[in-house]
A = this chain, B = another copy of it.
Amino acid sequence: MDVEAVVEQVLQRIRPTGEERAFVEGLMRDLEEIAEDSIERLGLDVKPYFVGSLAKDTYLAGDHDVDLFLAFPLDTPLEELREKGLELGKAIAERLDGYEVAYAEHPYVRAKYRGVSVDLVPCYDVKGWRDVRTAVDRSILHTKWVLENINGRNDEVRLLKRFLKGINAYGSEIYVRGFSGYLAEILVIKYGSFLDVLEKADFMLRQKIVDPENWLRKEPETALKTVKRETEEDRPLVVIDPVDPRRNVAANLGWERYGVFYFKAHQFLENPAEEFFFGKTRKKGSYLEELRRKGTHLVTIMFPKPDLVDDVLLPQLERSARGFERALSREGFRVLGWDAGHRGGKAFLMLEVDRRERERVTIKPGPEFFTERGRDFYRKNERVWVIGKRLYAEKRVKESIVDVIVELLGKNQVALGKNVRENLKSAEILLNHVPKELEEDAYLFLSREKWNLKGQM
């Protein structure tokens, strides 16, 4: 199938139908009316703005989350904005189908309306980047900029977003480190089309800097500071925010996710297929077979998933996995790779290690022989010898990796994420065996199909 045909097929699936558009427009009209009415009733000087992909008309079919921002005048004190903003959000939500209060930089209201999730977020009514006071204030400017510049290329954005989702590189959350929706929009606006962006995968990386609003000319000092800072942080891309020269839109994009995009873009251009956009049912296989093939061993550390959002839980699990990697390597086990996640109510770390048992005896380096501590070491050990200036002795150690892990945890010798520390200390430790619900994760990890650039399409 040629690339145009594939793209057309995909568009059929991701472009909202007329019916869907009508539904979304009705939804937004309703919400606007309710918001304006509530503002009036409370006697507030607030403007409601729709932001996000619905407002920009870059949403994917079936994906209707609404972001309704409640913009207060710039002279509102922050405390008042928080308080009145939450009050207004609640007042609006009362007239919808239920809500809860959620917390980001400020509290906000997450409501349901006609089956759709509606976020009601207080912010300042900023006119430009110098006004920005809270993290969410830029959204209004982003929406405005995209609407002014997209120039009918909305479907191109849809294709790119869907492609990034399909290859698992979408989302700027800390545990994804992929492309945000706004970044996808900017790239399409800058390079012209979905296919242009794919073709530029290598070029962009070499250019490094993307500056659609020419901030480097208009505000050289500020923009250069951004470039310098982000280059020092070694980001793959520095995309100067069209609405704020102080910000790199791609600050959360990691090299890993860019690497996936890099190779998948190339593969797609060579062999276009719909699978790139929707993923394929992942390759299936037996993790036990993988263990036999590789001659390695799998340690799974598992505990009931704590009540934490992924934004918090996943980075903490990853930090803990790295802690185990270091601690085990000090103990003579090599960690070939690790994975972390949760599935079916269970949080897990998986460590692929080189062996399940180590030698029973290890060589313990002691102090220099001619010191007080040296004489002490000499007294305390049965077999002692000198290499260079230091004493050495044998030490009996636990053999099994499970025993070693239990001992390390007991002695607090593993650097663990602080919110999962206690859970890990009482976790189950499994060797070369996982429960049914983790079998697929174990296979994808051990085979590296989870990350294999070649495997999934």
Binds B, one of A361-369, A403-411, A414-422: A361-369
Known: A263-B378, A359-B294, A363-B336. A452 touches B256 (CB 8 A): no
Q: CA A88 – CA B455 in complex, angstroms? A: 83
Q: Report chain B residues within 8 Å CB of A453.
A: 378, 384-386
B interface footprint on A421-439 (CB within 8 Å = 1, 0 otherwise): 0000000000000000000
A394 within 8 A of partner (CB): yes
A454 to B380, CA, bound (A): 11
- Taken residue by residue from 24 to 55, chain A's Cβ proximity to chain B (1 for < 8 Å, 0 otherwise) reads as 00000000000000000000000000000000
Query: Interface residue tally of chain A, by bracket?
Result: 35 or more
Determine the distance from Cα of A396 to Cα of B260 in the docked complex, in whole angstroms. Answer: 24
Distance in angstroms between the alpha carbons of A383 and B383 in the assembled complex: 48
Query: CB distance B262 to A385 under 8 Å?
Result: no
Identify which of B205, B378, B385, B449 contacts A451 (C-beta below 8 A). Answer: B385
A-B pairs with beta carbons under 8 Å apart, 14 shown: A255-B388, A256-B386, A259-B391, A260-B386, A262-B369, A262-B370, A293-B361, A295-B399, A296-B360, A354-B359, A355-B359, A383-B449, A386-B451, A386-B453
Given contacts A255-B388, A332-B354, 13 further A-B contacts (CB under 8 A): A205-B370, A259-B386, A259-B391, A294-B359, A294-B360, A294-B394, A295-B357, A295-B359, A296-B360, A383-B448, A383-B455, A385-B453, A394-B448
User: Residues of A at under 8 Å CB distance from B?
Assistant: 202, 205-206, 255-256, 259-260, 262-263, 293-296, 332, 334, 336-337, 354-355, 357-363, 369-370, 378, 382-389, 391, 394, 399, 447-449, 451-455
